[in-house]
Structure 1
Amino acid sequence: MLPKVNQMLFYHIASADEEEAAIEYKSRIADEQEDFLLIENPLSEKTGRFKRLFLGDELSVYFTTESGIKNYFDSHVVGFAEDVIRLIKIRKPDPDRITKVQRRNFLRVQAELEIAVRLSDHVRFVCKTDDVGGGGISFLCDGKWSLQSEQMLDCWLLVPFKNGTIEHASFKAEIVRVVEMESGRHQAMIKFASISDSERQKIIRYCFEKQLEYRNR
């Protein structure tokens, strides 16, 4: 399914500036051509300010269907058009490259990211993830750490993006299951118990970028 005229697009703009890259903008689709979408100027709901886009700017975009499914794709600015207002021309996505993500069934990707885990005020450790998703993650750690189902954790995940920026996503999580591996290490599957929308969006954006990377290999 492709986005349609009058539909709202939400997106991040690729930037070496971490604060800028984290801002989510929205634009209405004003018109479409065979290979392009014409969108209105980006507006940040957080600041209430419009953003000027430039030729070649890379966008990480999603739109939501009436059934609540988020559809993600990459695009970039290819030109501008003068109408009653100035419109921005972006590349229309290839339907095969649109990633569908249900709100309650987030995309997961295999990834070795650094994660800091706090079990209590006196027990903390750093390890690597096994996979990452918008609803939870799994990580591998030494068997010496006492982990069990339903245990609550405070976590900080290091999230690198393809534009070179690195951010931290913090959240509280609940252990769903712990598996002891033949090596003696533990694999812990955790789900997010408390995470802000902005922190979750960082993880979803990373998963989206990784999936596109896998497809382009």
Structure 2
Amino acid sequence: MELKIGTNIILESISSETTEKFRCKIVEQKNNVIYIDYPVNTATNKTAFLFEGGQYRASFVDEAKVAHAFKTQVLGRVKSNIPMIMLSFPTDEEIIKIQRREFVRVETPVDVAIEFDHQFYQFVTEDISAGGIAIIVNQSVSFKENDEIQLTIVLPFSNSNDGIKYVQTSARVVRFIEKDNRVIVPLQFTNTDDVDRQNIIRFCFERQLKIRKKETTF
């Protein structure tokens, strides 16, 4: 399998006691070796230095939006125009397709900023999932069905350690729905990286627990 230059990869440590995750990009590929830029720790946003021999689980999403995973090992470093790290790359038979379950949709208000055709809008969601959101449209807009728009989603976690996460992604306008004298517009994410997707999944899970807790108190 040939990976496209610039493909985002998430590395998850499997050779240390603590599970750390790093994000990086493919810079070059030669046969069974891929070259990545220096990875960034997803928790600290600091550049990480991977030790030679370290083993990781790598995952990426191809151009067809299919997720894949494989085991890899750090082979060394390369000094070129940009510093790179060499990782082993397996045969096609050793690359696993990740079967994604249907994303859980949670009804909760979240602030969303939208950019389309150099115009900016602010909305609140009707619901959210790792696959997309539905926004409540209370003003005239220039985008229409099947248009691709840019989103900035604000995720206010209850856990003080998480704070507020900002997810920037693109989305396709699915349709306009009139519901209870309101206009609801479902949006399907089209370019969400694994880190942002995991943040959305964690946020949805947190909100689910919060909703269930409220229901059990009545």
Quickly name the TM-score band, shorter chain normalised: 0.5 to 0.7
Distance 1:48 1:181, change over 3 A: closer
User: Is 1:112–1:130's contact at 8 Å kept on the other side of the alignment?
Assistant: yes
1:149 aligns with 2:156: no
1:44 aligns with 2:42: no
Alignment correspondent of 2:176: 178
The share of aligned pairs that are identical, in percent, is 27
Structure 1 alignment gaps of length 5 or more: 1-23, 29-39, 52-67, 69-101
Q: Tell me the SS of whatever aligns to 2:103.
A: coil
Alignment correspondent of 2:166: 168
Cα deviations by residue, 1:83-130 (Å, 9 ceiling, x for unpaired): xxxxxxxxxxxxxxxxxxx72411110110000001111x11101000
Alignment correspondent of 2:56: none
Instruction: Provide TM-score, normalisation by structure 2.
Output: 0.53
Instruction: Provide TM-score, normalisation by structure 1.
Output: 0.53
Structure 2 alignment gaps of length 5 or more: 1-10, 23-38, 44-66, 68-98
1:113 partner letter: V
Query: What does 1:48-197 align with in structure 2 at a 5 Å threshold?
Result: 103-121=100-118, 123-164=119-160, 165-181=163-179, 183=181, 185-197=182-194
Report the CA distance between 1:159 and its aligned residue.
0.3
Q: Tell me how far apart the structure 2 counterparts of residues 48 and 136 of structure 1 sit (CA, whole Å).
A: 26
Report the CA distance between 1:209 and its aligned residue.
0.7
Q: Tell me how far apart the structure 2 counterparts of residues 136 and 124 of structure 1 sit (CA, whole Å).
A: 19
Distance 1:26 1:210, change over 3 A: farther
User: Is 1:153–1:173's contact at 8 Å kept on the other side of the alignment?
Assistant: yes
Q: Tell me the SS of whatever aligns to 2:146.
A: coil
Q: Give the alignment's Cα RMSD to 1 decimal.
A: 2.9
Distance 1:160 1:139, change over 3 A: same
Report the CA distance between 1:182 and its aligned residue.
5.6
Q: Tell me how far apart the structure 1 counterparts of residues 112 and 210 of structure 2 sit (CA, whole Å).
A: 22
Q: Tell me the SS of whatever aligns to 1:163.
A: coil
1:216 partner letter: K
For this pair of structures, how many residues does the alignment match?
132
Q: Tell me how far apart the structure 1 counterparts of residues 195 and 206 of structure 2 sit (CA, whole Å).
A: 17
Q: Tell me the SS of whatever aligns to 1:43.
A: coil
1:178 partner letter: F
User: Is 1:25–1:42's contact at 8 Å kept on the other side of the alignment?
Assistant: no
Q: Tell me how far apart the structure 1 counterparts of residues 115 and 40 of structure 2 sit (CA, whole Å).
A: 37
Distance 1:127 1:45, change over 3 A: closer
1:209 aligns with 2:195: no
Cα deviations by residue, 1:55-98 (Å, 9 ceiling, x for unpaired): xxxxxxxxxxxxx9xxxxxxxxxxxxxxxxxxxxxxxxxxxxxx
2:196 to 190, 195, 199: 199
Cα deviations by residue, 1:173-200 (Å, 9 ceiling, x for unpaired): 00111113464x4211010111111111
